[in-house]
Amino acid sequence: MRAVAAASSGALLYVSFPPRQLWWVAPLAVALLILTLREQSLKAAAGYGYLAGLGFFLPLLPWVGEYVGAVPWLALATIEALAFAAFGAVAAIIGRVPGAPIWLACAWVAVEAARSRVPFGGFPWGRIAFGQADGPLLPLAALAGAPGLSFVTVLLGAAAAATAMAVWTRDIRAVAVPGCAAAVVGLLVWTPSQTVDPGEQTVTVAVVQGNVPRMGLEFNAQRRAVLDNHVQRTLELAADVRAGRVGQPTVVVWPENSSDIDPFTNPDAAAAIDRAARAIGVPILVGAVVARDDGRSRNTSVVWDPTTGPGQEHDKRQLVPFGEYLPLPGLMSRLSSYAGQAGNFVAGTGNGVVDLGGIRLAVATCYEVAFDDLITESVRAGAQLIAVPTNNATFGRTDMTYQQLAMSQVRAVEHNRAVVIAATSGVSAIVTPEGTVTQQTDLFTPDVLVADVPLHTTTTLATRLGAGWEIACTLAVLGALVVAFGGYRRAA
């Protein structure tokens, strides 16, 4: 029975994630998991935690194997479920420490922090904060970032579990801690979280979604068709501007991989991008695959000026392991036949900020939007606007693109910056600094979004704290473990 409850808690947590807007299910899922772990041995709690992890990650991540088969999806889900096992083991130890709901919430944040960094750079996908983009807790991201949003969500669930047990055991005094926790959460939610920017400016941004061609073309023809689609949509946008149907944009953002043909070595590709930039008359951020002299590649975003051509570049800093590069190539090649399908990209450096038409733009390429430190570094370096160029065509019509959109909503609030998402095949979107999606495209449909967005320069508390909340939670958990072990020793 407990095994079913554990797996069900993970499945419930999955249901709270986009594209469903059932954010309120997450605390219930956490409460069910904590009740399942109650009074269990360390080994049993870890096992139940693992079942919850499988119940969550198996339905969350099928997009990983959309075009490469089920093995990578199942492997990733079973590995990531170990994080839930770790939480279960820690919960078994600290669950009886006074103030347990607080320490359990800290433990969840600490475990998420660990899996966001290891192995191979980590995998933050599925952090509980990313399921809260449409809920009333979202403003808390400006105070303590995604870790703080996870903390409060789990705290509510842990408080609900504690309240349920207090009622069951008729120990009314035990309701005090969860009641205080809920009161603190309510106070935080109603506390103004955004930093007022008295000198706010606005700019007009155009996001181009060129779409991808139907299957059937050979590889190089596919790549050229994608580039031509983005050029054609930009030319149509220029025609609409001249006709007065839309306003003149200040800048244009193309998606990741909008030019998989290297424009620095292929004159035809460069000429096509030049044509689009001259037609619209403003700089375009172009997602390109650029070859290096050593035979490896860069996944880069290039500022393409209508007069001077290519300028500043941002190379993707957080590459996808087993997708864009192969970790431990010697070992992995022997272990799996899938290893040979990995790319040969080199990670970039720098702070992720480029100057696009006078705008200090943070570029978070696709997978990078999931990582706290990358965007924090960019905003601290003066970014006024966040762009997320992405290529989701490989993942078909799965939930992946909506999960990624929710991450962008959290980032907008976390840093008080508007976010523009440019996807090759969708979903492209415009997100306000309050996390509201004002425009979005359909999947696999060519489209252009044009919007006036604010440029902010002040920073939120979350931006200034950085990883501070994760560090505080980790230290708190370590303290709770010390207290718990001390209690066991005295009892013995």
- Give the per-residue pLDDT at 188: 58
What sign has the CA pseudo-torsion 258, 385, 377, 150? negative
Q: How far is CA 83 from CA 353, 416, 451, in A?
A: 33, 30, 40
In contact, 313 and 286? CB cutoff 8 Å:
no
- Which of 387 and 215 is assigned the larger pLDDT? 387
Considering 66-70, 111-115, 325-329, the range whose residues carry the highest mean pLDDT is 111-115
Share above pLDDT 70 across residues of the chain, in percent, rounded to a whole number: 88
DSSP alpha helix (H) spans, 357-399: 372-380
> Residue 384 pLDDT > 60, yes or no?
yes
Set 80, 316, 377, 473: catalytic member:
316
Nearest to 194 by CA among 130, 135, 140: 140
- Give the per-residue pLDDT at 216: 44
> Residue 308 pLDDT > 50, yes or no?
yes
Q: Contacts by 195-198 with C-beta closer than 8 Å and gap 24+?
A: 195/142, 195/416, 195/458, 195/459, 195/460, 195/461, 196/458, 197/416, 197/454, 197/456, 197/457, 197/458
> Residue 486 pLDDT > 80, yes or no?
no
Averaged pLDDT, 146-165: 93
Q: How far is CA 472 from CA 12, 143, 151, 356, 476, in A?
A: 28, 14, 11, 37, 6
Q: How far is CA 64 from CA 22, 323, 402, 403, in A?
A: 23, 10, 14, 13
203: β partners: 453
- Give the per-residue pLDDT at 344: 84
Q: Contacts by 340-346 with C-beta closer than 8 Å and gap 24+?
A: 341/68, 343/297, 344/295, 344/296, 344/297, 345/296, 345/297, 345/298, 345/299, 345/316, 345/319, 346/292, 346/296, 346/297, 346/298, 346/315
Averaged pLDDT, 487-492: 51
- Judged by average pLDDT, the poorest of 59-63, 319-323, 365-369, 460-464 is 319-323
Q: How confident is the model at residue 480 (pLDDT cuts 50, 70, 90)?
A: very high
Nearest to 381 by CA among 350, 347, 416, 414: 350
Environment class of 265 (CB within 10 Å of its CB; exposed 0-12, middle 13-18, buried 19+): exposed
Strand ranges in 263-406 using DSSP code E only, listed in sequence order? 284-291, 297-305, 309-315, 353-356, 359-363, 385-390
Return d(Cα 43, Cα 61) in angstroms, integer: 26
Set 80, 106, 112, 256: catalytic member:
256
In this structure, CATH architecture of domain 201-459: 4-Layer Sandwich (3.60)
In contact, 415 and 379? CB cutoff 8 Å:
yes
43 is catalytic: no
- Give the per-residue pLDDT at 94: 94
Q: How confident is the model at residue 323 (pLDDT cuts 50, 70, 90)?
A: confident
Q: How far is CA 210 from CA 181, 377, 399, 474, in A?
A: 48, 30, 20, 44
> Residue 376 pLDDT > 70, yes or no?
yes
Measured in whole angstroms, the distance separating CA 274 from the mean position of its chain's CA atoms is: 32
Return d(Cα 200, Cα 196) in angstroms, integer: 9
Write b or e for each residue in 69-81: b if 16 or more Cβ atoms lie within 10 A of its Cβ, otherwise e.
eeebbbebbeebb
Q: What is the pLDDT of residues 454-468, one digit of tens each?
A: 999 999 999 999 999
- Give the per-residue pLDDT at 163: 86
Q: How confident is the model at residue 393 (pLDDT cuts 50, 70, 90)?
A: confident
Set 80, 106, 324, 366: catalytic member:
366
Q: How far is CA 169 from CA 36, 157, 172, 173, in A?
A: 16, 18, 8, 11
Averaged pLDDT, 314-331: 83
- Judged by average pLDDT, the poorest of 162-166, 188-192, 230-234, 255-259 is 188-192
The rounded mean pLDDT for the chain is 90
Q: How confident is the model at residue 492 (pLDDT cuts 50, 70, 90)?
A: very low
Environment class of 128 (CB within 10 Å of its CB; exposed 0-12, middle 13-18, buried 19+): buried
Return d(Cα 74, Cα 79) in angstroms, integer: 9
Q: Which two tokens stand for residue 279?
A: 């037609």
> Residue 446 pLDDT > 90, yes or no?
yes
452: β partners: 204
Return d(Cα 425, Cα 306) in angstroms, integer: 25
> For the chain, what are the domain ranges?
2-193+466-491, 201-459
Averaged pLDDT, 26-30: 97
Return d(Cα 327, Cα 319) in angstroms, integer: 11
